[in-house]
Chain A
Amino acid sequence: MALDPVTLGVIQAGLQQACDEMDLAFSRAAFSPVISEANDRSDGIYSAHDGSLIAQGAGGLPVFVGTMQHSTRVLIGMIAEGRVAPPVPGDTYIVNDPYLGGTHLMDVRFARPYWRNGAIFCWLSNTGHWPDMGGAVPGGFSASATAVEQEGLRLPPVKLFKEGRLDPEIHSIICSNIRVADQRIGDIKAQAAALDLGADRLDALLNRYGDDTVRAAIDELRHRARAQMAAHVRGIPEGSWRAQAFIDSDGVVNNPLVIDLEITRKGETLTFDFSRSSPPCQGPMNSVLATTRSSVYLAMRHIFPDVPISAGAFEPLRIIGCEGTFLDARYPRPVSGCAAEVSQRIAEAVFLALVEALPDHVTAAPAGTSGNFALGGHDPAHRRDYVMYQLSGGGYGGNADHDGLSNGCSTIGISKAPPIEIMEQNFPVLYHRYALREGSGGAGLHRGGFGLDYEIELLRGAARASFVMDHGRFGPPGVLGGRAGATNEVEVIRAGKRHVPEHLSKEQDIPLSPGDRVRVRTPGGGGYGDPARRDPALIAEDIRLGRYTAREARELFGHEAGDAE
């Protein structure tokens, strides 16, 4: 069927619109602040045939860009093999198994066939980050789990909704295994209602343009997204580039893990070979294959933001050599760090490998850690237990156009940090400082952005602090002659004595008493280009604004700051 480019564009916009509306409805109706405030969720439309991605909401969390097509594909396969009961209209599956095309256990996926004249036309699916799925640590981010069972409840694909009705038995199994269960019914209904809305929008689109036209448009759009990414790939010179990115440790064994990536451009294909990377690890810094792939996709989309999110866009990208490495972990390896930390190191490896080939598009390394600090304890004043999360940003990498942004969100996220005033309302802590981390931006022609420097005091009750961060051992690398940004630093002041985690960026259950303090300094971004070429006026400006001392400027940029101050 021949389609004119205009109808094609209109159908593309219609599919995108359906996904964007699902995203919006899900966030607005959700209870989990991780979804409603941090937008840690994503909605999309997937092929009935193989689950491949047709369209996904533009406001979805980047790390989910490629995971749901894997989980939908696995589900379709399991149904075909008779391992999962086949769907009838009104059924919605729930699944959070990381090894079946997922991320970590807290990312719960719903998948529902979209029916048309008695047949499945496509699948609708969404993922939401639930605040807790059980396991050893509230919230699920254990820094020292050694098996997935310690991380929480694992659900294979089962029908949570049967012919439109919530299955009370499965619901009750879930609620008996997770913390703060009473509000989850709200998230479940919000997540399902978003899929209802998507179905309505698809009805309207198909009724207007006809099933055959839309089907043909979906095929054509996939083809064109492939062509668009292929055109970008052809813009890269032929050849190979190799880069390494390091994770401080797996949280259990105190040795760095390496992502060793070689990217080769040949013809219209870009091959990502991870085979030299570290083997699977004991602690939770393993990645599952779906997350590894998704991390490559999101990195490429950061480089080429104009390419639509569609399976076609991924076709020129060939990802190989993950088997046998910690980037393709199998049951029962623990995986809680894969979505928040390992994914960002993978993206960093992609940036570092491609920056020489694409110096105008790619930035130096961003801070690249979610900076997860969890504090759990009892507040005697309000007679209640609490779990507090402080996620923090860091500096972005300098780039061809300008200096890196300060305190940007994680590479794989898009969430806003909560206000300090709200944190102090809800938890028994006092912030002494929430400041720009001076001196942290990596030197360069265009320097990295600055990280964050905060310090918190526990005011009352006993508590335990846990950290899952990264870049504590090595700062975010600079590129093309630029220098690395500052490393992540954590210190805990207990009874006046300073404690630094043995693994620098990771530790679990450090006991705190009132008056104890936690200080975190997040990484600065890597610098871009030779620091000696930086405009002296900009260096003087940075000194004047207290971003670097005159001495730092001399050491980092070789700048004689006689004219400043």
Chain B
Amino acid sequence: MGKSGIIGVDVGGTFTDLLLCAPDGSLAIAKVPTTPQNQAFGVLDAISAAGADLSRIGMIVHGTTTTTNAVLERKLARTGLITTRGFRDVLELGRRTRPHPYGMKGCFTPVIPRDLRLEVGGRMLADGCEHEPLDEAAVAAAARKLLAKGCESVVVHFLHAYANPTHELRAGQIIAGLWPNDHITLAHTLLSEAREYERGVTAAVNAAVQPLLGRYIARLSGELEKRGYRHEVLVMNGNGGMVGAATVAREAVKTVMSGPASGVMAAAATGRQAGIPDLITCDMGGTSTDVALIRGGEPGVSSEIEIEYAMPIHVPMVDVRTVGAGGGSIARVNEAGLLAVGPESAGANPGPVCYGRGGRDPTISDANYLLGRLAPPPGTDGARQDPAALRSAVEQIFETRLGRPLGLSPITAAEAVIRVANTHMAGAIRMVSLSLGADPRDFALFAFGGAGPLHAAALARELAIPRVLVPPRPGITNAIGCVVADLRHDFVRTLNRPLDEIDEPDLHAIIAEQRRTGETMIRCENLPVEHLRHVHSVDMQFVGQTHLLRVPLDDPTPTRAILQARFEEAYHRRFRVELPEIRANLVNVNTSVIGTRPPLDLAALIPSEGQRRTLAEARTATRPVRFDGKWHETPVLWRDHLPPDACIPGPAVIEQMDTTILIAPGDLAQGDSAGNIVITLGAAHDGT
């Protein structure tokens, strides 16, 4: 595949983004509207827009929201459940919760409706012993009944199948003899852990999206083949790895979070290249902001993500948390006379007032517009309107909705909106990083998404994060992630024993076995890999605790003494508590085997032909921009014209097709050889 090209394509809620790495090494990008009815059309549009010749493309990697949207909108394939007698309602009863701590309202719709959840006799005990044999005739009858009710997909989910899967396997055989397709999910094969609700939901989601994903990928593959593509389409998994079209639907649930995962993978790759391996990623879009943590170039992976209320998906996925604020979040004055921002959003339609599409609610983007930080995006009606009229319309709305009730001018109200929004977002980012056991001050902020680079430096200031990294094309980061993503396999082995009862040779043998299995799997995938990396960790706790603390290991043969010491260090760092009185427990041994793909020269994302020799030549205008209560006449620079290694003291605004970067007075932005911009907070005084 040396001479062939690579395409990364990500389908988001609004836009489909594509990155083409042509056979000659040149890069091209495309951004086209997403086609929600059939995402394949948008993908094909993006391929034509980039001018790709599919016969010369060796690899297409695809990030998709097909499964995510299907779950969130409950537009699912008709799916049946066959489960242990007495337990068909587990999927509806959940874990006895409510959507919000306060407020006794709220609803929940189970993935599989009650009339399609059938019970059969047969029971395993917690230790894996059979208490009652499987009622095989009942399994067959249930499968026939589900078929008669029009089910296309079926889940088998028995109590304690993680301890002994015999009944699930036998039921699978019986159903396979009756079922017209291979949409049969045995719950223990996806997740072999106790917790019947989480395992059941994970399996039910898998079954309910499997036919949809299968059909979509088949259709897309067919269309691509017609246009000359001769290889298998690869799909991004939520764990940041990729998987072939032929098998992706088998474990379709793993593609939930495919898009956000690829963004984080791109961030990790960018950070490694830039020599900044510890990042907090901040992907700020129109309605929400996704936050993730990258340590040592490795994104955190969690198996306990809940994608919405009572919808846990317990397969390894890049740990992305969503904060309910984005550029379109609406500001209002609440009953206490305080300014509140979000969670309501003006969304893409009508969008912020300054987009000129009839929006009437003051949003974060409008505040940025009034403060001179943001111009109406090209292509919106706002950009075509008379600037004076638009400004006066936005001011008017800020005056009546916010300024008057707060006793502020429209401009100071806009400043207030930004400050409040940043405070809340910074607080949420801090909670995310703390809940993952990290101190934000040890990280750089990686800003992407349309609105990320506009707020990043202020958020970093709020969080005491010293630096901000803005990649060359923040608006297509997910598509870049598809191209740079690694091959990855995760292994977890549960021991759950006090550390002093662990046999060191046994432990080392487990880790060695995990490494071997992963290496074999990667070899079989037959894709170009630079080198193999192994990441080891253990999950530990003190005996008697329920939460786990992940303890990274730097070699595959740790002694008990090292494990004890690492755990105590990690525990003290997190909680500042020492507990010599209590024994440590080793719960899980984790290994990830990662095939690192050849690096991509991201500098080429901004073509060198466009670059000017001096900053002055990259300047397109100056305009007044508001910082800290004062107007500053601020240069506006065009990103593609910036000289390489540009050194830009704030205040400055850098505009580009897909985002706007704000540099405050006192901060210093520097270009690097890979096309990134690194903003160092408070450095301008030393640097100039």
Residues of A within 8 A of B (CB): 4-6, 8-10, 12-14, 16-17, 20-21, 24-25, 27-31, 33, 36-37, 58-59, 62, 182-183, 185-186, 189-190, 193, 196-197, 224-225, 227-228, 231-232, 298, 301-302, 305-308, 351, 363, 366, 391-393, 396-397, 399, 401-403, 405-409, 411, 414-417, 419-422, 424-425, 430-436, 452, 455, 544-547
With a cutoff of 8 Å between Cβ atoms, the chain A residues found around residue B336 in the complex are 224-225, 227-228, 231, 307-308
Q: A416 to B431, Cβ gap below 8 A?
A: no
Pick the contact of A21 from B434, B578, B582 — CB < 8 Å?
B434
Give which listed residue, A5, A30, A33, A351, contacts B337 with CB less than 8 A.
A5
Nearest-neighbor residue (CB-CB) of B195 within chain A: A419
- Cross-chain contact A406 with B114 (CB below 8 angstroms): no
Q: Is B133 an interface residue when CB atoms closer than 8 A count as contact?
A: no
Min distance, Cβ A549 to any Cβ of chain B, angstroms? 14
The residues of B that contact A406 with a CB separation of less than 8 Å are: 92-93, 108
* Chain B window 511-546, contacts with chain A (Cβ cutoff 8 Å), 1 for yes, 0 for no: 000000000000000000000000000000011111
A5 x B416 contact (CB < 8 A): yes
Question: 8 tightest CB-CB pairs across the interface, nearest first?
Answer: A393-B96, A433-B86, A228-B336, A417-B96, A224-B336, A305-B102, A416-B95, A6-B416
Which of B338, B420, B576 has the most chain A CB atoms closer than 10 A to its own CB?
B338
Name B's interface SS: loop
Contact check, B94 vs A6: say whether CB atoms are below 8 A apart: no
B295-340 residues at the A interface, CB under 8 angstroms? 334-340
**Residues of A contacting B93 in the complex (Cβ-Cβ under 8 angstroms):** 393, 406-407, 434-436, 452
CB distance from A252 to the nearest CB of B (A): 29
Check B338 against A224 for contact (C-beta < 8 Å).
Answer: yes
Contact between B547 and A302, CB atoms less than 8 A apart: no
Q: Which residue of A lies closest to B107 (CB)?
A: A402
Contact A435 B547 (CB under 8 A): no
A-contacting 9-mer, from B21-29, B422-430, B596-604, B648-656: B422-430
- Could you list some 11 contacts between A and B, CB below 8 A? A5-B407, A14-B423, A25-B575, A351-B104, A393-B93, A403-B107, A405-B105, A419-B198, A421-B126, A430-B131, A545-B115
Kindly state whether residue B435 has any CB partner on chain A within 8 Å: yes
Contact status of A185 and B337, CB under 8 A, knowing A302-B102, A363-B104, A545-B113: no
- Does B90 make an interface contact (CB < 8 A)? yes
- Whether B160 sits at the interface, judged by CB under 8 Å, is yes
Please tell me if the beta carbons of A408 and B97 are within 8 angstroms of each other in the complex.
yes
For chain B residues 543-583, which have a beta carbon within 8 Å of chain A?
543-547, 574-579, 581-582
Chain B residues whose C-beta falls within 8 Å of the C-beta of A455 in the assembled complex:
86
Known pairs A13-B424, A306-B334, A392-B96; list 14 more (Cβ under 8 Å): A13-B420, A28-B574, A28-B575, A189-B577, A228-B334, A228-B336, A302-B103, A351-B104, A403-B107, A406-B93, A414-B97, A419-B197, A421-B126, A421-B159
Q: Decide: A10 and B419 in contact? CB cutoff 8 A.
A: yes
Contact A5 B339 (CB under 8 A): yes
Q: Which residues of B contact A (CB under 8 A)?
A: 86-90, 92-98, 100-108, 113-115, 123, 125-126, 131, 159-160, 162, 194-198, 334-340, 406-408, 415-416, 419-420, 423-424, 427, 430-431, 434-435, 542-547, 574-579, 581-582
Residue of A nearest to B416 (CB): A6
Interface centre among A391, A401, A424, A547 (most CB of B within 10 A): A424
Per the bound structure, the CA–CA distance linking A449 and B89 in Å amounts to 14
Q: How far is the CA of A342 from the CA of B343 in the complex (A)?
A: 35
Of B105, B159, B419, B575, the contact of A29 (CB 8 Å cutoff) = B575
Once bound together, how far apart are the Cα atoms of A405 and B113, in whole Å? Answer: 15
Q: Assess the A435–B101 pair: CB atoms within 8 A.
A: no
B498 vs chain A, min Cβ distance (A): 14
Contact B337 A431 (CB under 8 A): no
Chain B residues, Cβ within 8 Å of A5: 337-339, 406-408, 416
- Of B96, B546, B577, the residue contacting A407 (CB under 8 A) is B96
Other-chain residue from B87, B104, B334, B544 in contact with A434 (beta carbon distance below 8 A): B87
In the bound complex, CA of A559 to CA of B120 (Å)? 32
Q: Are B87 and A435 in contact (CB under 8 A)?
A: yes
